[in-house]
Structure 1
């Protein structure tokens, strides 16, 4: 069990959340006589005849939400800014980014609407989703100075971080620090998430220090990423110190306390009894999909507890969500199974990773797992992973 308390090393890497052209979108690009007639056919379907319903009946991305908006206005109906924001939010939740972007374009092109910083930030995210980061970057650079705000800077930084464009993100982050704007924890979390995703763990504490120098209050995601970076290099003493800082923080609330309890239970895992395990199960049930970062932590926890059933349950449930798996998720479950000697399950996860359509298999990540186990004296576990990789016709190269 003593070794397992070191197992926090492969804890959660990330955080949190997914955040347009310099010229205005050309509406005619999406509109043809055929498309318009098809839209009219879809709008004629019986049912609710409000603006939202008409737009959501445009099931195919090539259909034009702009046409629907124009027809609605020609029929003498008003369109409020709050309506457009609500519809756009629903469209984004449904991953209908092209239609959401057309809603955003309508908002921008109609001068009677007074847009907020969030409206411009959402547009940057939509430009990234529909046309790519280059388009989002050009749109941001073309914005008037007054609209280059905390939210729009952070939205572009989110796009860079999501694409792991470290150099571009660092350049933008420097511009952010040089500006006279005030930023909250979200902006710093984006940089921390990026560094975790590319394995530059040593840079995370630097960002935390900069956050504190600016007198910005860290949130639970900040602490989670900070703890993850220390755990990834097996600095358990620093993990304990951070947890102590969290417990005395002015921003502590019920969710933070729940997180602290989980972390402290893990660190003293050798002293757990059956009653504590039951408490963990109850705690897990309270975690929502918004708290995605906690799933990786639970995988590490149950690995330390030796609970294969719970590991299987969490991993299988993650596979059924719409969330995209990333390298961190695979590293956590592989490490947990390795600690329990479950080489068959490790091989199955590696096969899933290799077949994934969303995340390329990461040999460097596997090498980091192997080296980490060797460094803490668990050479047998490291060798087990190496054997599995060889059996899968994979090679880590020379150490």
Structure 2
């Protein structure tokens, strides 16, 4: 209302307007435990040599590269041409699509398959369809599908997917209700659903209920696996402290059905760290190193992360060297983990060596790797090195992402190089439509402060045009623009209208400045 009133007062001065462009209620389920439109052109992505009638159905479906294309249409066209398909072929195709991460097409194949009366859907088919529904669609749709499953066997085969979804959503009541139902059907005879519930209770800080799960598992002779013990130790530490954790660990040592590996020792080391027992944590991690596999890198980076928490650079380097002896190719994600670890340990020099090693053998330049070193340079005030690295990445074919420009913006802002901040921001703007990232309000306001001090009103207007499209205009930004109009003795009615459009309320300070703009503009006219 304040803006509209002010606009009315400014109306006689209007010039040609410039438009810029729930907690758990109890562990009830434990009490019931007894002694888881496209036509034939849909496959035009095929190589030209294979676009003929002899190509098999599997190839047609596997070559549907884009999610918007329809696997259902391909299947319907196949049948309409008088061809046959077996349920075994469809299962094989759907499984291959899943392995390739093509969940939408795999789900379409299963839906089509289930709709055909001549095919008998199995329990595992129902389970896969439910899993894919959770991945592709909504949890509500998955719940509806589960409720309509035709028999108990299908529910038993499928329910773990639904339970795990509830755990991810921290939907405690729904998870407990499902456990009650499946317990009554005799489905809860493995550690997996109980582990899921323990994860949920840890995530929601209900550690005492984790211990209740373990008690019921013992009472009903449900076997415990490595994950069960790891979760049990974590909850025990929260409830009773580190002394009782050692009791759980000894029980695990005596369990002949469980083999203690690096994951348990990492869990134990984390608990020791939280309790301030750093020497004991270090010894435990050294024992964990002996349990690592020589076939994959999976456990190595858990240990590296733990050694970083202990600020143990020697351990980080030792595990990294062991990791490189594994018979598997190191990924960009592996290098990123190592670079982040060294940066956290303030060893930029060693990080540079690792980066050069990665760069010498990478076949495709992943800008996320160089961004880690770029950020280290900027935070360390090494702006010359940061700019040199940026140029180097461009020369090597790297494609800057929003994070690259954000890092550079922060560096330029620290150095007071506002022209470069503006340029970096403009480059970052080009990527805003493709991601959720937005520049910080501090940087945006600093840019307008720079425009104001430099008297660059037109540049400020142009910049405002852009940031309004991303809902980045704030009261501080508009106030700066109004002050610029006052300095130029120009009316600001257009700015006030934009404020109203953006639903930004005017405070007393801004109102005073706007009135000053009106008086100055009136003086110019008289």
**Which of 201, 206, 211 is the aligned partner of 1:200?**
206
Residue 236 of structure 1 aligns with which residue? 242
**Which of 159, 169, 177 is the aligned partner of 1:171?**
177
- Give CA-to-partner distance per residue, 1:23-49, whole Å, 9 cap, x none: xxxxxxxx2xxx225314235643594
Residue 163 of structure 2 aligns with which residue? 157
**Which of 116, 125, 135 is the aligned partner of 1:119?**
125
Moved more, 109-118 or 200-209: 109-118
Q: Is the CA contact (8 Å cut-off) linking 1:125 and 1:159 kept in structure 2?
A: no
Moved more, 69-78 or 142-151: 69-78
Secondary structure (helix, strand or coil) at the match of 2:49 reads coil
| Structure 1 segment 201-220 matched on structure 2, within 5 A | 201-220=207-226
Residue 270 of structure 1 aligns with which residue? 279
Residue 63 of structure 2 aligns with which residue? 57
Q: 1:38 aligned to 2:47?
A: no
Partners of 1:173 and 1:252 in 2: CA distance = 25
Over 3 Å counting, the alpha-carbon distance change for 1:273 and 1:133 in structure 2 is: closer
Cα shift at 1:136 = 0.6
Partners of 2:162 and 2:285 in 1: CA distance = 42
Partners of 1:152 and 1:204 in 2: CA distance = 24
Cα shift at 1:167 = 2.1
Partners of 2:210 and 2:120 in 1: CA distance = 38
Q: Is the CA contact (8 Å cut-off) linking 2:268 and 2:281 kept in structure 1?
A: no
Cα RMSD of the aligned pairs, angstroms, is: 4.4
Over 3 Å counting, the alpha-carbon distance change for 1:203 and 1:172 in structure 2 is: same
Q: Is the CA contact (8 Å cut-off) linking 1:150 and 1:183 kept in structure 2?
A: no
- Give CA-to-partner distance per residue, 1:15-71, whole Å, 9 cap, x none: xxxx9xxxxxxxxxxx2xxx2253142356435944332212111112111222234
Q: Is the CA contact (8 Å cut-off) linking 1:299 and 1:311 kept in structure 2?
A: no
**Which of 100, 111, 118 is the aligned partner of 1:105?**
111
**Which of 301, 305, 312 is the aligned partner of 1:306?**
312
Alignment TM-score, normalising by the size of structure 1: 0.60
Partners of 2:195 and 2:43 in 1: CA distance = 45
Over 3 Å counting, the alpha-carbon distance change for 1:187 and 1:260 in structure 2 is: closer
Cα shift at 1:165 = 1.6
Cα shift at 1:92 = 2.6
Partners of 1:218 and 1:302 in 2: CA distance = 31
Q: Is the CA contact (8 Å cut-off) linking 2:285 and 2:303 kept in structure 1?
A: no
Cα shift at 1:163 = 1.9
Q: 1:320 aligned to 2:333?
A: yes
Residue 255 of structure 2 aligns with which residue? 249
Cα shift at 1:273 = 8.6
Partners of 2:90 and 2:246 in 1: CA distance = 47
Partners of 2:43 and 2:132 in 1: CA distance = 26
Residue 329 of structure 1 aligns with which residue? none
Partners of 2:60 and 2:238 in 1: CA distance = 50
- Give CA-to-partner distance per residue, 1:105-157, whole Å, 9 cap, x none: 12312344333322212211211222200111111112224345322222211
- Give CA-to-partner distance per residue, 1:180-213, whole Å, 9 cap, x none: 3343111112212222233333322222222233
Q: Is the CA contact (8 Å cut-off) linking 1:65 and 1:102 kept in structure 2?
A: yes
Partners of 2:225 and 2:132 in 1: CA distance = 26
Secondary structure (helix, strand or coil) at the match of 2:247 reads helix
Secondary structure (helix, strand or coil) at the match of 1:204 reads helix
Cα shift at 1:296 = 4.9
Paired residues, number = 296
Any stretches of 5+ residues in structure 2 without a counterpart?
1-35, 321-329, 346-374, 380-402, 408-434, 437-526
Q: Is the CA contact (8 Å cut-off) linking 1:247 and 1:257 kept in structure 2?
A: no
Over 3 Å counting, the alpha-carbon distance change for 1:243 and 1:305 in structure 2 is: farther
Partners of 2:162 and 2:121 in 1: CA distance = 18
Partners of 2:240 and 2:145 in 1: CA distance = 42
Q: Is the CA contact (8 Å cut-off) linking 2:98 and 2:106 kept in structure 1?
A: yes
Q: Is the CA contact (8 Å cut-off) linking 1:302 and 1:308 kept in structure 2?
A: no
Q: Is the CA contact (8 Å cut-off) linking 1:169 and 1:191 kept in structure 2?
A: yes
Partners of 2:301 and 2:233 in 1: CA distance = 15
Over 3 Å counting, the alpha-carbon distance change for 1:65 and 1:235 in structure 2 is: same
**Which of 76, 96, 100 is the aligned partner of 2:102?**
96
Over 3 Å counting, the alpha-carbon distance change for 1:240 and 1:277 in structure 2 is: closer
